[in-house]
Amino acid sequence: IRYSEDKGWHDARITARGSVQMDPASSVLHYAQEIFEGLKAYSRPDGGAALFRPDANARRFNASARRMAMPELPEALFLESIRALVRTDAAWIPQDEDGALYLRPFMFASEVFLGVKPSAEYLYMVIASSVGAYFKGGAPSVSLWVTREYTRAAPGGTGAAKCGGNYATSLIAQAEAIRNGCDQVVFLDAVERRYVEELGGMNIFFVFEDGSMLTPPLTGTILPGITRDSILTLARDLGITVREELYSLEQWRADAESGRLTEAFACGTAAVVTPIGSVKSAEGGFTIGGQSAGPLTQRIRSSLVDIQRGKAADPYGWIQQIL
Ligand code: PMP
């Protein structure tokens, strides 16, 4: 779907995947005015297919658009673009337990103009791809590297928007994590370099021996994950106390070493809920619990997956059946 200041949104169509021709002066190539979303269509036990909270993705997409000085896409158009592509690509939805059709809506500045100002023209697209389990063989625990050198987002910046630039800044930190023998990077806040924020592509939860949970608050520097939001609802309905509070690396280490912290997990659309087994930083490392999925992590994971896969009732209206 195209956007121009004079015509608004127009020219919606579905075409076979192919290349996009761009002028070298297209403004996105210079100033990175680009946003995206990620969601999945799941096969249903009855043979149909469903989306999980696509309206939440539509709202976050528009929040990202506002931050990046881009036009909002009406929610109905966003949802119809997703539904239309899933119907077209229905044959690509994996029927197995772990598979899904991953959908990637995105929008970028397409005006041919080198001045530094918001573009007057945009292109919105959705592409789809079949995906399997994010981690083969279920959900083994992941190891995290705490980066001291890099931060992901500063107050007033774009941390809460899902824009390509946020990922451009985190690539080097992810590479640092791999170099240090860890699976994923975890970022601390940019001001004090003290509080745990999120991973490169997932939010984080902590579980304590009294059965309560904690996740960092939405201070504007982390992405408001839809999985994070769903887990907050599920956990509270399961009678679990969940605090949204700042949590320092120092406290995390002390709690893990004293046994007060019993589990930690990362969450996001791609890997759903993944236990965190160990944490490493320049000051040394520590492990968490038994290094595999703890009971509360497993409980949260199955409550969520069962709703997504149609194996449990959906009291929240999260599922949108489309086929
Ligand atoms: N944080 C970041 C930086 C992410 O890229 C993602 C993935 N979209 C998440 C958190 C988790 O968000 P969601 O649950 O909506 O996938």
- Residues 162 and 198: their CA atoms lie apart, in Å, by 14
CA distance 188 to 108: 29
Interface confidence, given as ipTM, is 0.99
Q: What is the pLDDT along the chain (323 residues), one digit of tens a residue?
A: 999 999 999 999 999 999 999 999 999 999 999 999 999 999 998 889 999 999 999 999 999 999 999 999 999 999 999 999 999 999 999 998 889 999 999 999 999 999 999 999 999 999 999 998 876 655 579 999 999 999 999 999 999 999 999 999 999 999 999 999 999 999 999 999 999 999 999 999 999 999 999 999 999 999 999 999 999 999 999 999 999 999 999 999 999 999 999 999 999 999 899 999 999 999 899 999 876 789 999 999 999 999 999 999 999 999 999 98
Instruction: Give dist(CA 318, CA 112) in Å, integer.
Output: 40
Task: Find how far residue 1's CA is from the centre of its chain.
Answer: 24
Distance 148 CA to ligand 1 centre (A): 21
Please say whether the beta carbons of 249 and 282 come within 8 A: no
- Closest-CA residue, ligand 1 atom 10, reads 202
pLDDT of residue 98: 84
Domains of the chain in start order, with CATH, are 2-131 (3.30.470.10), 142-308 (3.20.10.10)
Tell me how far the alpha carbon of residue 242 lies from the centroid of ligand 1, in angstroms.
19
- Nearest-angstrom CA–CA distance, 170 and 294: 29
Indicate if ligand 1 lies below 6 Å from the C-beta of 203. yes
Pocket flag, ligand 1, residue 271 (CB < 6 Å):
no
Model pTM?
A: 0.96
What span, in angstroms and rounded, lies between the C-alpha atoms of 56 and 89? 22
201 lines ligand 1 (CB under 6 A): yes
- For ligand 1, the distance from its centroid to the CA atom of residue 125, given in whole angstroms, is 20
pLDDT at 290: 74
Which residue has the least CA distance to atom 5 on ligand 1?
201
State in Å: Cα 268 to ligand 1 middle.
5
- Find the 133 Cα to ligand 1 centroid distance in Å: 17
pLDDT at residue 139, rounded to an integer = 52
Compute, in angstroms, the gap from residue 201 CA to the centroid of ligand 1. Answer: 5
Local structure of residue 248 (DSSP, 8 states) = B
Residue 151 CB less than 6 A away from ligand 1:
no
Structure-block tokens of residue 256:
């893990």
**Residue 129 vs residues 62, 101, 126: alpha-carbon distances, Å:** 23, 6, 10
Q: Which two tokens stand for residue 192?
A: 């004090």
Mutation to probe ligand 1, out of 269, 300, 301, 308 (largest number of atoms < 8 A from CB): 269
